[in-house]
């Protein structure tokens, strides 16, 4: 199987890094402590799907939640990337949904187990087309909004991140060599909630510069 491509760029997705608890209001709604360093997990490649996908809910969960997130695409390799050069490693920005089987995640948290199952079902990381960096005036001020069946459920801005984008790149690159095609899901703002069969989810970056629509089957 070939790796799925990043829409808008002619490069395959490499690794999918995700940041948990990166917006204070979301941390509070989950009843979690404010992190002292970025909370990192990864998703398998089978989670990637695209605009207009109808996503099947896994039979193992009765409580799948949406988490709208700004997604960063990496353009060039690097290890131990400095804060000053972090932004030079970015190809562009899109939006995605970090779908999460909340019931499975809650049990995993209680048992001290990893989140790989809760976060890793097929199609659990739909992504929009990406904008090149030149199209985004200020990455520290990107607006993200999620609509569920036409109603706004999440509205955040990258200015509210606990760990801003360059800090995430610096942090991740101390652990993992970053490569072109790596994606970073940068965390979700408050307002996460459950999806139901028949739902339509729409996520907008900067009021529609890029958008993602998926249906829940």
Interface positions with Mg ion (CB under 5 A)? 67, 98, 188
Strand partners, 127: 96
| Shortest separation between residue 69's beta carbon and Mg ion, angstroms | 6
| Shortest separation between residue 34's beta carbon and Mg ion, angstroms | 16
| Shortest separation between residue 159's beta carbon and Mg ion, angstroms | 18
| Shortest separation between residue 131's beta carbon and Mg ion, angstroms | 21
Considering beta carbons, is residue 11 or 212 the nearer one to Mg ion? 212
Considering beta carbons, is residue 71 or 209 the nearer one to Mg ion? 71
Considering beta carbons, is residue 22 or 206 the nearer one to Mg ion? 22
Considering beta carbons, is residue 21 or 89 the nearer one to Mg ion? 21
DSSP one-letter code for 168: H
Considering beta carbons, is residue 105 or 188 the nearer one to Mg ion? 188
Task: Tally Cβ neighbours within 10 Å of residue 74.
Answer: 26
**CB neighbour list of residue 191: distance below 8 Å, 6 or more residues apart:** 26, 29, 146, 153, 154, 155
| Shortest separation between residue 18's beta carbon and Mg ion, angstroms | 6
Please report the DSSP string for 169-211 in residue order.
HHHHHHHS-B-TT-EEE----S--EE--TT-EEEEEEGGGTEE
Distance CA(217)–CA(152), nearest Å, equals: 20
Nearest-CA neighbor of 121 among 146, 103, 138?
Answer: 103
Residue of minimal CB distance from Mg ion?
Answer: 98
Output the furthest CA–CA distance in the chain (Å, rounded).
45
For residue 80, the SS3 value is: coil
């Amino acid at each position: 199987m070939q790796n799925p491509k990043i829409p808008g760029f002619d490069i395959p997705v490499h690794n999918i890094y995700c940041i948990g608890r990166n917006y204070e209001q979301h941390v509070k709604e989950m009843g979690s402590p404010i992190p002292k360093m970025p909370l990192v997990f990864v998703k398998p490649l089978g989670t990637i799907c695209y605009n207009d996908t109808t996503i099947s809910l896994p039979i193992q969960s009765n409580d799948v939640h949406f988490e709208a997130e700004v997604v960063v695409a990496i353009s060039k390799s690097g290890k131990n990337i400095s804060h000053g050069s972090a932004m030079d490693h970015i190809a562009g920005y899109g939006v995605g949904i970090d779908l999460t089987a909340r019931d499975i995640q809650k049990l995993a948290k209680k048992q001290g187990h990893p989140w790989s199952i809760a976060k890793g079902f097929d199609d659990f990381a739909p992504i929009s087309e990406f904008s090149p960096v030149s199209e985004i005036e200020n990455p520290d001020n990107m607006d993200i909004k999620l609509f569920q069946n036409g109603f706004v459920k999440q509205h955040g801005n990258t200015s509210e991140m606990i760990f801003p984008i360059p800090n995430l790149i610096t942090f991740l690159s101390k652990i993992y060599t970053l490569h072109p095609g790596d994606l970073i899901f940068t965390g979700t703002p408050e307002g996460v909630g459950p999806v139901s069969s028949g739902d339509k989810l729409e996520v907008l970056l900067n009021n529609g510069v890029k958008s993602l629509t998926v249906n829940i089957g």
